[in-house]
């Protein structure tokens, strides 16, 4: 065989690989409102940047026993905004994207390359699960992927994009990764499907209700982002990547911003009411102080009493954690503690400073919370802040009460710079609750109980419910004019840019899971 013939054979095989499971199945994929594995890569990555590997592997065959070149996944690397990214994209046109031995090996190989080169890994998931025909070798493929997910955790960013079904053991890999994106109406995640649930428990549900984008973004908290279309999903993935470093030894990229670092925030006193019982949207505070109002919120629909996400100050990425008074008063509960602690730990893993905005009345009381383990889940947030060695800056906007004050990036958990507005109230609990406990006898013995109670509340507020006691103890580094909030945060970040802090030598801590 001549060289030209050999070259022709290679080109024929690669052309065949481009068709996946064949044109008929590609058309069926499009009819369902879904892109193919290769189209997704083209939409997500920079034009002409994708370099495929393992295109000629194969184990799958079609109904006529013709070998399907490339099997059910496309792997390789490319670029997003000029920065290297490793990627795999499951091909639903080949055996429903099912994972067999070859598919598992292909994914494991690109994950190994990502880890060795310090490159983020993105997985585009669209699979019916393990390939039943291959038995234990398919299960082995999942196990190999899980191991690499864990080894890569905290070393390189791992992003999962769910673009079709993701069921059974397949969901564990995305759940170990750092961020999960889902697309409305076309992506689902669940351990057992609707039919199995009905057979075992008698409960009736649909795939969308059970594991759709809305369910996992708003109820379970499994997913972090939801979009209407695949194209919108890819735009959000690219936006997230723009905030993140390539690995744990890298610094986050600089954002393009001309927002003046000395810009005052005169609107803050209009956004935040003086009365601590009046709600406001903390996102308005965030957008007022960050660069260019460019805030990428994470977990937007889940545990809405706390807001987390990425932004920048002076063009440098930060993670923001903020209580949200618009939703159940901004209290901490099980879900918000889980949400914020995982976000803080991600930021700490990847050298991203944490800015915390505090307006918290305490932990949410109730039997459901206690029986659900608020003690353990609430402790996760304490653990995350205490463990984090990245720069930590905290601003108390309005109130910080009880253990929730401690948990929200307090000086006592190792925050570097802590500020408070003059309107801030820091105490064990609010005046009304405190007086009901400490002055119950005095109130009951008074002739005019309401007048006495009001008098004692005002005295309590004057004596204890202000930031100056904390400032006197050094727990607050300075009390600042709200209009200087952005300036103060940037100055603190500049100071802490070369912060160096390490934890005591140990294999790892035992976070209360």
The token duo for 98 is 């099912």
Task: Assess whether 114 carries a catalytic annotation.
Answer: no
| Per annotation, catalytic residue among 403, 414, 432, 446 | 403
Task: Assess whether 76 carries a catalytic annotation.
Answer: no
How do strand 354-360 and strand 392-401 relate by DSSP bridges?
Answer: parallel
The token duo for 61 is 């065959």
Please list the alpha-helical segments (H only) found in 35-135: 37-44, 101-117
DSSP string, 408-475: TT-GGGT-SEEEE-TT-EEESS-HHHHHHHHTHHHHHHSSSHHHHHHHHHHHHHHHTSSSHHHHHHTS
If we measure between CA atoms, which residue out of 26, 238, 29, 14 comes closest to residue 120?
A: 238
| Per annotation, catalytic residue among 114, 130, 322, 404 | 404
CA-CA-CA-CA torsion sign (489, 490, 491, 496): positive
Radius of gyration of the chain (CA): 26
Burial class (CB in 10 A: 0-12, 13-18, 19+), 506: exposed
| Per annotation, catalytic residue among 118, 143, 169, 372 | 169
Please list the alpha-helical segments (H only) found in 76-131: 101-117
- The CA-based angle 198-201-202, given to 5 degrees, is 50
Length of the chain equals: 513
The token duo for 325 is 């008074």
Task: Assess whether 70 carries a catalytic annotation.
Answer: no
| HSE-CB for 61 with a 13 A CA cutoff | 7
Kindly provide the residue ranges of all beta strands, DSSP E only, lying in 10-163, ordered along the sequence: 51-53, 73-80, 83-90, 121-125, 158-162
Question: Is-contact 133 110, C-beta < 8 A?
Answer: no
| Per annotation, catalytic residue among 22, 118, 143, 168 | 168
Tell the residue number behind the tokens 């990502």, with chain if given: 114
State the greatest distance between any 2 C-alpha atoms of the chain, in Å, as a whole number.
110
Query: Which helix (H) or strand (E) segment is 322 a member of?
Result: strand 316-323
Question: Is-contact 207 190, C-beta < 8 A?
Answer: yes
DSSP string, 346-409: HHHHTT--EEEEEEE--BPPSHHHHHTTHHHHHHHHHHHHHH--S-EEEEEEEEEEHHHHHHTT
Question: Is-contact 46 81, C-beta < 8 A?
Answer: yes
pLDDT 10s per residue in the chain (513 long)?
788 888 888 888 888 888 888 898 899 999 988 999 999 999 999 999 999 999 999 876 666 566 788 899 999 999 999 999 999 999 999 988 989 999 999 999 999 999 999 999 999 999 988 888 888 988 999 999 999 999 999 999 999 999 998 988 789 999 999 999 999 999 999 988 888 888 888 888 988 999 999 999 999 999 999 999 999 999 999 999 999 999 999 999 999 999 999 999 999 999 999 888 899 999 999 999 999 999 999 999 999 999 999 999 999 999 999 999 999 999 999 999 999 999 999 999 999 999 999 999 999 999 999 999 999 999 999 999 999 999 999 999 999 988 999 999 999 999 999 999 998 988 876 666 666 666 666 766 666 667 767 766 676 677 767 888 899 999 999 999 999 999 999 999 999 999 999 999 999 999 999
Kindly give, in sequence order, each residue whose CB lies less than 8 Å from that of residue 128, ignoring residues fewer than 6 positions away: 92, 95, 96, 97, 98, 165, 167
Domains of the chain: 3-241 (3.90.226.10), 268-429+466-497 (3.90.226.10), 431-464 (no CATH)
Task: Assess whether 404 carries a catalytic annotation.
Answer: yes
How do strand 296-298 and strand 306-313 relate by DSSP bridges?
Answer: antiparallel
Helix axes 101-117, 136-152, angle to 10 degrees: 10
């Amino acid at each position: 065989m001549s060289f030209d013939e050999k070259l022709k054979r290679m080109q024929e095989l690669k052309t065949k690989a481009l068709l996946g499971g064949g044109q008929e199945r590609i058309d069926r994929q499009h009819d369902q409102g879904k892109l193919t594995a290769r189209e997704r890569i083209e939409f997500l990555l920079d034009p002409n940047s994708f370099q495929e590997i393992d295109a000629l592997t194969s184990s799958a065959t079609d109904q006529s026993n013709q070998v399907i070149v490339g099997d059910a996944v496309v792997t390789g690397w490319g670029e997003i905004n000029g920065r290297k990214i490793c990627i795999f994209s499951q091909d639903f046109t080949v055996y429903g994207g099912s994972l067999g031995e070859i598919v598992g090996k292909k994914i494991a190989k690109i994950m190994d390359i990502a880890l060795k080169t310090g490159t983020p890994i993105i997985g585009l998931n669209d699979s019916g699960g393990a390939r039943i025909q291959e038995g234990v070798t398919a299960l082995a493929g999942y196990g190999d992927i899980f191991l690499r997910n864990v080894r890569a955790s905290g070393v390189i960013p791992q992003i999962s994009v769910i673009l079709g079904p993701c069921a059974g053991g397949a969901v564990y890999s995305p759940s170990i990764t750092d961020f999960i994106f889902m697309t409305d109406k076309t992506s689902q995640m669940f351990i057992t499907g609707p039919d199995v649930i009905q057979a075992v428990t008698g409960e009736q549900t649909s795939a969308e209700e059970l594991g759709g984008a809305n369910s996992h973004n708003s109820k379970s908290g499994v997913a972090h982002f939801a979009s209407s279309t695949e194209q919108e999903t890819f735009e959000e993935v690219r936006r997230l990547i723009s905030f993140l470093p390539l690995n744990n030894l890298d610094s986050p990229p600089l954002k393009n911003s001309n927002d003046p670092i000395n810009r005052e925030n005169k609107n803050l006193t209009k956004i935040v009411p003086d009365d601590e019982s009046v709600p406001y949207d903390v996102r308005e505070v965030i957008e007022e102080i960050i660069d260019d109002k460019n805030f990428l919120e994470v977990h937007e629909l889940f545990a809405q009493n706390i807001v987390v996400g990425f932004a920048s100050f002076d063009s440098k990425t930060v993670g923001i954690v903020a209580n949200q008074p618009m939703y159940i008063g901004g209290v901490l509960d099980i879900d918000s503690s889980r949400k914020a602690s995982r976000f803080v730990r991600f930021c700490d893993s990847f050298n991203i400073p944490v800015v915390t905005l505090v307006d918290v009345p305490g932990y949410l009381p109730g039997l459901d919370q206690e029986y659900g383990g608020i003690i353990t889940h609430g402790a996760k947030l304490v653990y995350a802040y205490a463990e984090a060695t990245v720069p930590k800056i905290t601003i108390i906007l309005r109130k910080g009460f009880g253990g929730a004050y401690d948990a929200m990036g307090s000086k006592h958990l190792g925050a570097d710079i802590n500020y408070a507005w003059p309107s801030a109230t820091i105490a064990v609990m609010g005046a009304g609750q405190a007086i009901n406990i400490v002055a119950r006898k005095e109130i009951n013995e008074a002739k005019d109980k309401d007048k006495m109670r009001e008098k004692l509340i005002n005295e309590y507020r004057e004596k204890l419910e202000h930031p100056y006691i904390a400032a006197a103890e050094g727990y607050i580094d300075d009390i600042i004019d709200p209009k200087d909030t952005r300036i103060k945060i940037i100055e603190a970040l500049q100071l802490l840019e070369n912060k160096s802090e390490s934890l005591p030598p140990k294999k790892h801590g035992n976070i209360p899971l």
